[in-house]
Structure 1
Amino acid sequence: MRRDVLELRQFYASDLGRAARAMVERKLTEAWGDAHGLDLLALGYATPFVGPLRATARRVVAGMPALQGVEVWPAEAPNLATLTPEDALPFQNALFDRVLVVHGLEESPDPVGYLREVWRVLAPSGKAIITVASRNGLWANTEKTPFGHGRPYTRGQLAELLRDADLEPSGWTRALYVPPVGWMAGWAEGFEQAGSRLWPGFAGLLLMEAVKQTFAVKPQGRRARVARPALVPAPGVPAASARPLASPRRRP
């Protein structure tokens, strides 16, 4: 069962929630910049992280699952949030340049179907960032935060799930090394700096960027070629070091 929207809002109003928001916002800015002129969709409960992008993005819309509930967002402006079924997002095909998913995948009854809807609403060459609880992290092992509910993922599991939905992983990183204890939230920045160097495998969150996989149409009357994704991931790296959310090199 999904966490209630009131429970999520309460968490992000806490010290731990504010720490999580700051760490994810930083990774989002590193990956997408200020999203100037882009159309952006925030799925699950991603509104705490996309507020800074509203000033420069052309459009920012929030879609919250029906089983979770929806809240008015933003509080100081006309509402941009809507209640959405997971298997049929109420948006036309190829509408958004960027999609951010937070608190969306872990408790979904059909993760591949959920991601297929992300694929459908993404524009060609559009990018999505999926944020999930890391299976090896402390946050997945405590029920005191929303990240301790549902299914956590390893990097390999999340990448496989994205490919099943025709989304090609293009980069990944980790965040949130501070233990999920309220009184330690003030030290989140120090844990972030030290954790990425000393114990990278124990981050609380895994963020993976993926691009919409598109295939060329096979020409008539010519020798058929095997369809290939437009972008493919670079060779794997050791699990101990995260790669930035940036496009990898093309294979020859």
Structure 2
Amino acid sequence: MSLDVIDLRSFYASPAGDLARRLIARIVRERFSNCAGYSILGAGYATPYLGVFRDEAVRVLAFMPAQQGVIHWPAASSCASALVETTAMPLPDSSIDRVILIHGLETTEHPRELLTEIWRVLTPGGRVIIVAPSRSGLWARLDRTPFGHGQPFSRSQLRDLMRDTLFSPTHWTEALYAPPFRHKTLLRAGVIFEKIGAFFGLPGAGVLIVEATKQLYRPVPATQRAQEALPQFAPAADPVGAPVSTRG
């Protein structure tokens, strides 16, 4: 199910959206701590997480799915956002160093094609951070937040999907342990929930966050390697002097 860009913008303008942005952005910034000289792409609806990179990256782009809609970003500068088909991005091969994918994987009808396209535009050794709703989290069960729309994932499902599209996970974490409260007083306790949940590794986080690198070569399955290692036997020649069979 697609999300509307107006609903996404409204969510991030709300107290619950601001809490989600702060908690997720902290992890994104820790993983992409120094992006000086890099090209960065935000795919899905990543604009709440891109502003911190604008002063150090060579370029920062925001690509939003055609079915979602697009907004002008950044608001007070030349537009760096575009409405695209995310499985056919208007970028050359190996042109982006870092990708942040959020509010994209769970709503697309073609998740493998989306990750394959991200693989294509990433430079060799390029990295992607994927933020996806957790199947076991409360945020995925309430449709009043964007994380309650589309297809949530378990860690094993996300790992299999990345393996199929030639990504190698390098770091796993979770966020949004705090329930999506509506009351501001309860939301203020969100940071405490987050610290306790992260420290003890509690179940029920709202989103899975995985950082992965682009693999350049498809690994050879172990069964195929074993078959290739077996000795190859050619058909035996007929023994010398053996009678020649005749028919008729």
TM-score (norm 2): 0.85
Q: Could you tell me how far apart the structure 1 residues matched to 2:34 and 2:12 are?
A: 22
The alpha carbon displacement at 1:150 in A equals: 0.6
Equivalent in the alignment of 2:193: 191
Equivalent in the alignment of 2:113: 113
Q: Could you tell me how far apart the structure 2 residues matched to 1:46 and 1:20 are?
A: 13
Equivalent in the alignment of 1:19: 19
Structure 1 unmatched ranges of 5 or more: 217-225, 227-252
Alpha carbons 2:74, 2:80 under 8 Å: kept: yes
Equivalent in the alignment of 1:211: 213
Alpha carbons 2:46, 2:101 under 8 Å: kept: yes
Paired amino acid for 1:197: F
Alpha carbons 2:63, 2:86 under 8 Å: kept: no
Paired amino acid for 2:195: Q
Equivalent in the alignment of 2:60: 60
Paired amino acid for 1:187: A
Equivalent in the alignment of 1:179: 179
Paired amino acid for 1:215: Y
Alpha carbons 1:15, 1:186 under 8 Å: kept: no
Paired amino acid for 2:212: A
The alpha carbon displacement at 1:200 in A equals: 2.2
Deviates more, 1:52-61 or 1:198-207: 198-207
The alpha carbon displacement at 1:197 in A equals: 2.7
The alpha carbon displacement at 1:199 in A equals: 5.4
Equivalent in the alignment of 1:231: none
- 1:92-114 deviation line (CA, Å, top 9, x unaligned): 11111000000000011010001
Q: Could you tell me how far apart the structure 1 residues matched to 2:195 and 2:93 are?
A: 40
Q: Could you tell me how far apart the structure 2 residues matched to 1:158 and 1:199 are?
A: 19
- 1:150-209 deviation line (CA, Å, top 9, x unaligned): 111111110110111111111111011110112132221111111113452211111011
Structure 2 unmatched ranges of 5 or more: 219-224, 226-248
Equivalent in the alignment of 1:77: 77
Q: What is the DSSP-based 3-state SS (H/G/I as helix, E as strand, rest coil) of the residue aligned with 2:203?
A: helix
The alpha carbon displacement at 1:32 in A equals: 1.0
Q: What is the DSSP-based 3-state SS (H/G/I as helix, E as strand, rest coil) of the residue aligned with 1:200?
A: coil
Q: What is the DSSP-based 3-state SS (H/G/I as helix, E as strand, rest coil) of the residue aligned with 1:201?
A: coil
Equivalent in the alignment of 2:41: 41
Paired amino acid for 2:155: R
Alpha carbons 2:135, 2:154 under 8 Å: kept: yes
Q: Is 1:94 the counterpart of 2:99 in the alignment?
A: no
Q: Could you tell me how far apart the structure 1 residues matched to 2:71 and 2:202 are?
A: 35
Q: Could you tell me how far apart the structure 1 residues matched to 2:210 and 2:199 are?
A: 19
Determine which structure has more spread, i.e. the larger CA radius of gyration: 2
Q: Matches of residues 201-240 of structure 1 in structure 2 within 5 Å? A: 201-215=203-217
Runs of 4+ in structure 1 deviating by more than 6 angstroms, as ranges, are none
Paired amino acid for 1:122: L
- 1:127-168 deviation line (CA, Å, top 9, x unaligned): 001100011111011011010011111111101101111111
TM-score (norm 1): 0.84
Q: Could you tell me how far apart the structure 1 residues matched to 2:34 and 2:213 are?
A: 18
Q: What is the DSSP-based 3-state SS (H/G/I as helix, E as strand, rest coil) of the residue aligned with 2:189?
A: helix
- 1:37-89 deviation line (CA, Å, top 9, x unaligned): 11100000011011111111111000000000000000011100001102201
